[in-house]
Amino acid sequence: MTQPTEVKRAAVLGAGTIGASWAAWFLSRGIAVDVWDPRPEAEAYVRRYVAEAWPAMVRLGMTADASPDAWRFHATPEAAVADADVVQENAPERLPVKRELYARIDAALRPDAILASSTSGLIMSDMQAGFRSAARFAVGHPFNPPHLIPLVEVVGGRETAPGTVEWCLAFYKHIGKKPIHIRKEAAGHLANRLQAALWREAVSAVVTGLASVEDVDTAISAGPGLRWAAMGPHMTFHLGGGEGGIEHMLAQFKPVFESWWATMTTPDLSEANCRQIVDGVKAEAHGRSIAELTAARDAVLLPLLELTAKLG
């Protein structure tokens, strides 16, 4: 098996937003990339995406031999994976689609190649079952966009060899990511479950009339979201306990949190409630396009990433 620090070629299967973003990051790390996607426009999309992402890659720092042109597009997934040390799979989030793809590439994979799936919520045990290469399959779930957001969640399935999980953790760390090991399978893994819990309360706040969509978003982006960029919720509350730390915080606020949790409910995503969210988001966007909003997001992310890298 190729050592995680010696990967020279990666295959990217599925080249939508996630796959193209992965391609840009791999290229910036000096890794040659083989791309496959069934859409006729996919090759042009990847070329455009990498070109637009490259200034950010330059700003964040690249390996000496990085090139935005060190990739090639293939007509079949079998051809794309033939020479790959690692495969990053980004097929649509539907189990039959992913299993159909795995059936095509199972025999074409090198006997030492690792496959990591970008699935945001599917269970690897269901995806890998019955394939010859299953021991080398794991979840390697990024956060969008992968070329900017460092987090990668690594999850093994029932048939995943322990060494595969260890390899993925080491590989992602080597290429500048912040991998975490999710120790058991759960729908949505970890970070998406945390997001879903927060969004459940955010939607509830809107549909119950507690606050507008824009005020809910401001409550996070101008409040705890700023702290979360530095450290997670547990460490944040540790500081919230003052000199007594998390022990004091729990002793003082445990009844308060339990009383708040008791009032929280799961909102119904009915047509009317969804329309309320959609209308609120459109109002908050103030006519800005997706491209404009993405640029505004990245204008904050890039200096934040530079700062966190500087501070270690």
Say if residue 76's pLDDT is above 80: yes
Mean pLDDT of 80-105: 98
Query: Would you state the pLDDT for residue 309?
Result: 86
Query: Would you state the pLDDT for residue 15?
Result: 97
| Domains in the chain, number | 2
What percentage of residues in the chain have a pLDDT greater than 70? 100
Residues 6+ apart with CB under 8 A from 55: none
Task: Of 72, 66, 84, 80, give the one whose Cα is nearest residue 8.
Answer: 84
Query: Would you state the pLDDT for residue 14?
Result: 98
Say if residue 312's pLDDT is above 80: no
Say if residue 310's pLDDT is above 90: no
User: Is 121 in the same domain as 22?
Assistant: yes
Query: Model pTM greater than 0.85?
Result: yes
Amino acid at 220: I
Mark which of 134, 154, 181 sits at the end of a domain: 181
User: Is 88 in the same domain as 149?
Assistant: yes
Residues 6+ apart with CB under 8 A from 73: 35, 36, 42, 43, 46
| 186 is a domain residue | no
Mark which of 154, 181, 208 sits at the end of a domain: 181
State pLDDT tens for residues 143-175.
999 999 999 999 999 999 999 999 999 999 999
Say if residue 9's pLDDT is above 80: yes
Task: Provide the phi-psi class of 62: left if phi over 0, else alpha when psi is between -120 and 50, else beta.
Answer: beta
Mark which of 127, 146, 181 sits at the end of a domain: 181
User: Is 60 in the same domain as 200?
Assistant: no
User: Is 15 in the same domain as 124?
Assistant: yes
Query: Would you state the pLDDT for residue 77?
Result: 98
State pLDDT tens for residues 26-69.
999 999 999 999 999 999 999 999 999 999 999 999 999 999 99
User: Is 163 in the same domain as 18?
Assistant: yes
The domain spanning residue 143 has which CATH number? Answer: 3.40.50.720
Q: How far is the first Cα of the chain from the last one, in angstroms, to the nearest whole number? A: 31
- Name the residue range of residue 207's domain: 191-311
| 150 is a domain residue | yes
What angle (nearest 5°) sits at the alpha carbon of residue 65, between those of residues 109 and 89?
30
State pLDDT tens for residues 192-248.
999 999 999 999 999 999 999 999 999 999 999 999 999 999 999 999 999 999 999
Say if residue 105's pLDDT is above 90: yes
Task: Of 259, 133, 107, 127, give the one whose Cα is nearest residue 187.
Answer: 127
What six digits make up the tokens of 294? 């993405």
| 25 is a domain residue | yes
Sign of CA dihedral 234, 240, 246, 247: negative
Tabulate helix, strand, coil % of the chain (nearest 5). 55, 10, 35
